[in-house]
Amino acid sequence: MELGRAVLAWPVAARPHQILNIHVAEPYRVRIDDGQAKPTPDMSVIGPQTYRRAHVFLSGSIHVFNILFQPTGLNRLVGINMTSLVNQDPAASDVLGRSATVLGDVVRMAPDFDLRVAAVERWIEAKLESRGPDCTIGLASRRMIAVQGRARIERLVARSGFSTSQFQRRFAAQVGMTPKLFARTIRFDRALVAHRDAPDRPWTEIVHELGYFDQAHFIRECHVFAGLPPGRLVGDWENIFFPGG
């Protein structure tokens, strides 16, 4: 993307995703809370977000390769307790170690998208050789994504074989959030995607489809996760980027 002097901006609302960004061209700038906008690292890990913390600004030559992980992906890949990445965006080397440099180099050297994907797949396969198979929490969290956050937590607990407290602890460590908060951020993210894809569609219709109790319930979630009511999701919000959307 060539923007020249133009600036494309969007706020980052609460969202469940964990992402590895590899900048092939110029890094973009990010303003955290009320601070100054600063360039991001050449490679960074974006953890799950629980409130509108960041505002992203793009200009110049933009070329970013994004790797979107499954909810337990980073925990399984490097063993990190995911609660440490919630509302954080550290340099990839701080999370992945020296292998981050290797990955960044092979992605940037690859001449096209397909070869970049192949390079990442080889890197992940090598990292997973020393890891065990997917686990119960991985299956439960992916189920929650598949049903847009509308899974019944007690049923997931019953299927897991864990007690409720064990399930809650393991889920937080591997995903970063409690199951309830994870489900709420999934549903809110899907609501914003639906609005972005069909801006003339009434909020009441979106809210009903996603299973909110009523519009007042969704308005409260908007204040928690975006910091403003639905009617003010205009301006930069129209540029918002959804990794899984």
Nearest to 78 by CA among 31, 20, 6: 20
32: helix, coil or strand? strand
Question: Given 3-state DSSP classes, what are the helix, strand and coil percentages for the chain, each rounded to the nearest 5?
Answer: 50, 15, 35
What are the beta bridge partners of residue 54? 12, 32
Specify whether the CB–CB gap between 206 and 168 falls below 8 A: no
Distances (CA, A) of 179 to 2, 176, 185, 186, 232: 40, 9, 10, 11, 29
- The per-residue pLDDT for 70 is 93
Which pLDDT score, from 0 to 100, does residue 244 have?
61
Alpha-carbon separation of residue 83 from 40, 65, 170, 178, 191 (angstroms): 21, 25, 11, 10, 24
Report d(CA 191, CA 222) in Å as an integer: 10
Could you give the CA distance from residue 40 to residue 29 in angstroms, rounded to a whole number? 6
Supply 2's token pair: 């060539």
> How do the pLDDT tens digits run along the chain, 245 residues long?
667 777 888 899 999 999 999 998 888 899 999 899 999 999 999 999 999 999 999 887 778 899 999 999 999 999 999 999 999 999 999 999 999 999 999 999 999 999 999 999 999 998 888 777 778 999 999 999 999 999 899 999 999 999 999 999 999 999 999 999 999 999 999 999 999 889 899 999 999 999 898 899 999 999 999 999 998 988 888 878 777 65
Cβ-based neighbour number of residue 235 at 10 Å: 10
User: Where do we find the tokens 């192949």?
Assistant: 118
CA neighbours closer than 13 Å in the CB half-sphere of residue 102? 11
Query: What span, in angstroms and rounded, lies between the C-alpha atoms of 148 and 178?
Result: 16
Nearest to 129 by CA among 68, 76, 72, 67: 76
Bridge partner residues of 43 (DSSP): 22
Q: How far is the C-alpha of 145 from the C-alpha of 72, rounded, in Å?
A: 12
Distance CA(236)–CA(245), nearest Å, equals 17
